[in-house]
Structure 1
């Protein structure tokens, strides 16, 4: 197994160690390996390759970092055909959350999420991916369920 060196803030190292202890991992290396596996496999699901998908992307960052908000708005405009809407929220008084609703291909959504994660000073980026084709319904079925 290769040994690598990475840099991260002390607070993140502490959280990593606590997570390893609390969840039965042998150490931080095992947690980092699992996290890397999850991240690398996140968009390798080929069953959605040719589908149009919907996604919600949440980006959380510290309040008072205008360069983050500015970069996120640049991404929003760069991907204007993909971003259906977005909203800026303040949470807990000390954080900002940017919420993006996307509608497009897996490749386009993946690209947007990767670029969002690459923005410096973002605390976290999470997403939800939905395939409208997994829950087919017709207007007649919807109408019937409302009446019946």
Structure 2
């Protein structure tokens, strides 16, 4: 492990300390390491765009923006093979939140996220990538049954 000296302003340090306290970190270093990891993504998804991933794409947009809902639908239909599920929420009269669950090659998932979040009228977007575990690609290996209690599983 390397020791790094960092110079930051007082307000940012106070925000880091508050974050660390809120989340129960034992030290400022632990909080900063997790903040940096979060900003960079996991090594698996940050470094290997050829790997497969699971992801959530959340974005807020102005549904009154001309043709935006149609454009967003077209982008998603153009990548239908990546979409697992989606949730649409009306936040207020003018604003909607959508959350899409995605799965596929990391580069394609990132490209879909970029094509959604760069649309004019999308106010905020965030892609959260998780590497796909090889053991779950062809079945379940986590040691328990998916029995629903009625003998169906």
TM-score, reference length from structure 2: 0.57
Aligned: 1:128 with 2:128:
yes
Task: Please tell me the root mean square deviation across aligned C-alpha atoms, in Å.
Answer: 3.4
2:106 match: 106
4+ runs deviating over 3 angstroms? 41-44, 134-137
2:69 match: 69
Q: Which of 5, 12, 21 is equivalent to 1:23?
A: 12
Distance 1:66 1:22 in 2: 39
Q: 5+ residue gaps in structure 1?
A: 1-19, 25-40, 144-148
- If each structure's helix is expressed as a fraction of its own residues, which one has the higher value? 1
Q: 5+ residue gaps in structure 2?
A: 1-8, 14-39, 146-153
Distance 1:116 1:87, change over 3 A: same
Distance 1:134 1:128 in 2: 19
Distance 1:134 1:21, change over 3 A: farther
Distance 1:92 1:109, change over 3 A: same
Matches within 5 A, 1:1-148: 22-23=11-12, 45-46=46-47, 48-65=48-65, 67-133=67-133, 138-139=141-142, 141-143=143-145
Are the counterparts in 1 of residues 63 and 69 from structure 2 also a CA contact under 8 Å? no
TM-score, reference length from structure 1: 0.59
